[in-house]
Structure 1
Amino acid sequence: MGVILLVPAHPLRPRHPDEHFAAEAAAARAAGLDVAVVDHDTLAGGGDVRRAVASVSGSGVAVYRGWMLRSERYAAFAEVLAERGVVLRTGAEQYRRAHELPGWYADLAAVTPATAWTHGSSRADLDRARVELGAGPAVLRDYTKSMKHYWDEAAFIPDLGDDVAVWKVASRFLELREDDFVGGFVLRRFERFVSAEVRTWWVDGACVLIGSHPDTPNDLPSVEVDLAAVVPLIAGLGLPFVTVDLALRDDGVWRVIELGDGQVSDRPITVGPETMIAALLAQ
């Protein structure tokens, strides 16, 4: 049984890969992998999962490289594929653990900003979380995503002690995220970083690729990334394919900004598709 790469279908040419993932699909075929397309919009929108994966044939282990899916939609995706004899390398619970911050935070608490979160979007629960974290600056997000491109409106909170200001930022965040809001509010202690973010890729607990972050593809830190504190923690998670974004804090310590499922983590344009596929296949 070979490895199957699953990518989203082009919205106008459903038998072809979405343009964003076409280069990785071509690199996978060149490396000897089978490639199949899936209907991401149907998967994400709660439609007929069997129809969404109708073009997937054969059997074996599969890796998805595509747009984000909510954890419950990924679980349905995995279940229907399994009925067809295709097993996603990353199981549904593993995906949730990597994709949603509460799944990985406790294991990485020593190397990432202090964090508190809510279950849902109520103001009362947000007040509980902000009090738990304590006064001072923080960054707001939900379980899977921030709105950092709306930094002053919907991400940065100058002081968690100011409940009115906190709710103003949270309300704007909800307005922008709309139906994409996942899980609850997440408050992360603000730390000052002095480098561009680095995106690292990990397969079975081993770092297989270090590159730039997709938001700053041409920027890499001027100093070597020190993964010594992170390696045993990522290995301990037992997750098959993840990304870890890091940045250098102003005291010279490398800190984890984010952990994500590698299947739905974007590739910077400065990392070639062949390099990405080779890293994905690393054992």
Structure 2
Amino acid sequence: MIVISEATEQTELSTSAKENKLMTETAQLLGFKVYYIPPDFQDCGTAENALWHIPQYAEETQGILVGYIPELERYQAIYQAALDKGIKLLNNPLEHQIAQEFDMFYPLLQGLTPESVIITSTDECIKASELLGFPVFVKGAIQSRKQQGWKSCVANNLEELTELTAKLLKLKYAARDRIIVRKLVNLRYQRFANNGFPMGREFRCFIYNHQILKYGYYWDGKDDLSKLSTAEEEQVLNLAILASQRLQVPYIAVDIGQLESGEWIVIEIGDGQFSGLSQISPLELWNKLGERVQ
């Protein structure tokens, strides 16, 4: 398997950049062939120029992109440029879009995840609130603002929903012009993050071709809720696999959370190439993925 990496050697790295670097170094340690590309086309201009140094492979070889969540156009360009070199990324552009954009995967997960409404303007907030009631969780099609805390994600009335929607629509990277309004559900939790966000009992599962590679507790740090009984583990993994079967995307990360009632639900889906590790060992994940892809 070929690894195309956006990792850099900068001294001061963000959390995502540190993880990209760790994943890349681990891949090299295990003997995967790694090629570096810039995290944008500002200097090189095109995907073809970014991948110019990668040799032509005579036989089609599986590849994986390690980096930041890309704009769809960037992913499409890199996918095609790599394919022209004989390297086929694990997810094609449509599969990447289905896994990454909420409004693409939500219709496929009916009954497995909280009821949600997709809106594109503040004018639609009234209709969304009438359908879901309050409180609601508000996020972009790609990302939420939970790093900024609970109040940046939860609306208790129409005024707050309108305000959160307006702010998110300005964040093109997170929203892509679509806002997701979700019925707020109460997850089991034991701790709060530093920003006051409740750390719900949630597990991230990496799946390739409907088979679990590795799973781990979503949040960092020690937490009694991170331990699953045998029966709970079976419930979590079965639900994650069911979600993957509905999506029919080769490589995904599925987040499964537990309600206060004890029921397990799907929280989020992501393209596995760009999903954070949570408490999963990169060495173990690469090993499993390498075995399955081969």
What TM-score do the two structures reach when normalised by structure 1?
Answer: 0.84
Answer yes or no: is 1:66 the counterpart of 2:70. no
Please report how far the alpha carbon of residue 275 of structure 1 lies from its aligned counterpart in structure 2 after TM superposition. 0.9
Confirm or deny: 8 A CA contact 2:140 2:178 kept in the other structure: yes
Confirm or deny: 8 A CA contact 1:153 1:172 kept in the other structure: no
**2:194 counterpart residue number:** none
Please report how far the alpha carbon of residue 80 of structure 1 lies from its aligned counterpart in structure 2 after TM superposition. 1.7
Answer yes or no: is 1:276 the counterpart of 2:277. no
Please report how far the alpha carbon of residue 77 of structure 1 lies from its aligned counterpart in structure 2 after TM superposition. 1.3
Answer yes or no: is 1:231 the counterpart of 2:232. no
1:216 to 216, 220, 224: 220
SS of structure 2 residue aligned to 1:40: coil
Partners of 2:94 and 2:19 lie apart in 1 by 27
**1:151 counterpart residue number:** 149
**1:189 counterpart residue number:** 183
Q: Residue 240 and residue 282 in structure 1: after superposition, are their counterparts in 2 closer, same or farther (change >3 A)?
A: farther
SS of structure 1 residue aligned to 2:245: helix
Q: Residue 148 and residue 180 in structure 1: after superposition, are their counterparts in 2 closer, same or farther (change >3 A)?
A: closer
Partners of 2:44 and 2:251 lie apart in 1 by 25
Give the unaligned 5+ runs of structure 1.
none
Please report how far the alpha carbon of residue 281 of structure 1 lies from its aligned counterpart in structure 2 after TM superposition. 2.3
**1:57 counterpart residue number:** 55
**2:162 counterpart residue number:** 167
Instruction: Provide the aligned length of Structure 1 versus Structure 2.
Output: 267
Give CA deviations for 1:145-190 in whole Å, capped at 9, x if unaligned: 00012334421012xxx43231122223345x35543240101110
Opposite residue 117 of structure 1, the aligned amino acid is I
Partners of 2:24 and 2:173 lie apart in 1 by 30
Give the unaligned 5+ runs of structure 2.
12-16, 190-200
Opposite residue 245 of structure 1, the aligned amino acid is D
Confirm or deny: 8 A CA contact 2:258 2:265 kept in the other structure: yes
**2:92 counterpart residue number:** 91
SS of structure 1 residue aligned to 2:166: helix
Opposite residue 210 of structure 1, the aligned amino acid is Y
Q: Residue 11 and residue 127 in structure 1: after superposition, are their counterparts in 2 closer, same or farther (change >3 A)?
A: farther
Confirm or deny: 8 A CA contact 1:5 1:62 kept in the other structure: yes
Q: Residue 51 and residue 238 in structure 1: after superposition, are their counterparts in 2 closer, same or farther (change >3 A)?
A: same
SS of structure 2 residue aligned to 1:110: coil
Q: Between the two proteins, what is the percent identity of the paired residues?
A: 19
1:85-124 equivalences in 2 (<5 Å) = 85-118=86-119, 120=120, 122-124=121-123
SS of structure 2 residue aligned to 1:263: helix
Answer yes or no: is 1:204 the counterpart of 2:238. no
Please report how far the alpha carbon of residue 232 of structure 1 lies from its aligned counterpart in structure 2 after TM superposition. 2.8
Please report how far the alpha carbon of residue 273 of structure 1 lies from its aligned counterpart in structure 2 after TM superposition. 2.2
Please report how far the alpha carbon of residue 33 of structure 1 lies from its aligned counterpart in structure 2 after TM superposition. 1.8
Partners of 1:189 and 1:46 lie apart in 2 by 44
Please report how far the alpha carbon of residue 222 of structure 1 lies from its aligned counterpart in structure 2 after TM superposition. 3.6
Please report how far the alpha carbon of residue 233 of structure 1 lies from its aligned counterpart in structure 2 after TM superposition. 3.4
Q: Residue 110 and residue 180 in structure 1: after superposition, are their counterparts in 2 closer, same or farther (change >3 A)?
A: closer
SS of structure 1 residue aligned to 2:111: helix
SS of structure 2 residue aligned to 1:67: coil
Confirm or deny: 8 A CA contact 1:49 1:80 kept in the other structure: yes
SS of structure 1 residue aligned to 2:109: helix
Partners of 2:137 and 2:243 lie apart in 1 by 24
Answer yes or no: is 1:263 the counterpart of 2:273. yes
Q: Residue 21 and residue 169 in structure 1: after superposition, are their counterparts in 2 closer, same or farther (change >3 A)?
A: closer
Q: CA RMSD in A?
A: 2.5
Confirm or deny: 8 A CA contact 1:116 1:130 kept in the other structure: no
